[in-house]
Amino acid sequence: MPNRDYTVRQLLEMEACTNCQICADVCPAVSASQLGELSAIFRMRGLKQILKSRIGLFHKIFARKGPSEKQWRHFSDTVFHCTLCGNCQEVCPVGIQLKDLWVSLRQDLVHSDFYPNKVELIRDNLEESHNVFAEDNEERADWVEDLRDAPDHGYLKDQAEVVYFTGCVAAYFPLAQKIPMALAEIMEKSGVDFTLLGEEEWCCGFPLLGAGLKEMLQELIDHNMSAVREKGAKKIVFACPSCYQVWREYYPHEFEITHATQLLMNLISENRMPLKELPLTVTYHDPCDLGRGARVFDEPREVLCSIPGVKLLELPRSRENCQCCGGGGNLEMIDPNLSAEIAKQKIDEVIGTGAQAVITSCQQCVRTMTATVRRNKVPLEVMDITQLVRRALKDS
């Protein structure tokens, strides 16, 4: 099979790897599992062997055979045991774009028919239901019904200046639904003219990238772009970092896009969101896609420091070095135990700060960390930043 899933730049970057192993030192999957073969350095070595075995001249001269089926399956298993957090890329001394490389590698493994069964599940769910959980897409905005003062239109307007793109997790998981509920109330009270897409919102496509199914992405892009155009909106706001990141990197730049933390900071600076005192000591967890991915580090901290009474304590590893929560890269579907162990490491680090609550800006981070806190009966509150701001918002 030709090496069609990699760009010329990626093929060149692989040769730049110095085998320094710094990437292994920061890998959350390695530290949680104590398995070196889950590291980027192991993955890079295996990938090079596979690519070289496909080159005709190399194979002819050295009689190099490709990996056996057993080797393929084992290598594939290690590749999908990764959160795609991007920390390996962050510390790479030669600047290899490792996260993009791992996405290409997963696509290669799908084309080679060596991938976890969960990939088929993701493909089927998105093809049939347009969301990753195979839920009824007509129910995507049902969370609005749980708001205390939900408007008659249910935030499903024909036209609006802003579209709030909810995302699959926040739309369907009861725990995560608190995030869109909080953000909707904040925008309502701040006078933001926004609408939801409702059933016309399809998955952003992020799970496809993590599953090695990038070729399916264009249909979702075309549909979502059309749905936003129908609303006449100029701006799209996301509380989900992964949705935000995919729109930044893969969607046409036709609309202004902003993450909820950036919107909140703007509303505070414009005095459109009066906040009351909220005595609470917190620490902040940088979501991988929002922090390392989109480089949004300052706005969340500015929002937290704008709430009277809130004291912010930084984690030992924060900003671009923040430890992943374990919920990314489809790992929770592939290996829930490893995902949970990574989350436990995260919570242990949070506890060490002495904070009363850990605040993040991602519904998946909230889910994984909350599950760990509840499972281990840790006296710690886990919240999305929208929930904290909603709690501090002065009622009119």
d(CA 22, CA 79): 18
List the structure tokens of 217: 């992405």
Q: What is the mean pLDDT of the chain?
A: 94
pLDDT score recorded for residue 61: 47
d(CA 328, CA 193): 32
Task: Give the fold, CATH level 3, of 118-266.
Answer: Rossmann fold (3.40.50)
Residue 279: count other Cβ atoms within 10 Å of its Cβ. 9
Please report the beta strands in 191-279, taking only residues with DSSP state E, as ranges in sequence order: 194-195, 235-238, 256-259
Distances from the Cα of 108 to the Cαs of 20, 59, 315, in angstroms? 25, 19, 37
Does residue 361 carry a pLDDT above 70? yes
- Residue 64: pLDDT band (50, 70, 90) is low
Q: Crossing angle for the helix pair 385-392 and 260-269, nearest 10 degrees?
A: 30
Q: Which of 361, 154, 389 is nearest to 260 (CA)?
A: 361
Task: Give the fold, CATH level 3, of 8-115.
Answer: Fumarate Reductase Iron-sulfur Protein; Chain B, domain 2 (1.10.1060)
- Asked which of 63-67, 115-119, 128-132 is least confident by mean pLDDT, the reply is 63-67
- Residue 109: pLDDT band (50, 70, 90) is very high
**CATH 3.40.50.1860 occupies which residues in the chain?**
118-266, 273-392
pLDDT score recorded for residue 62: 46
The domain 273-392 having CATH identifier 3.40.50.1860: the answer here is yes
**CATH 1.10.1060.10 occupies which residues in the chain?**
8-115
- Residue 147: pLDDT band (50, 70, 90) is very high
Tens-digit pLDDT profile for residues 313-349? 999 999 999 999 999 999 999 999 999 999 999 999 9
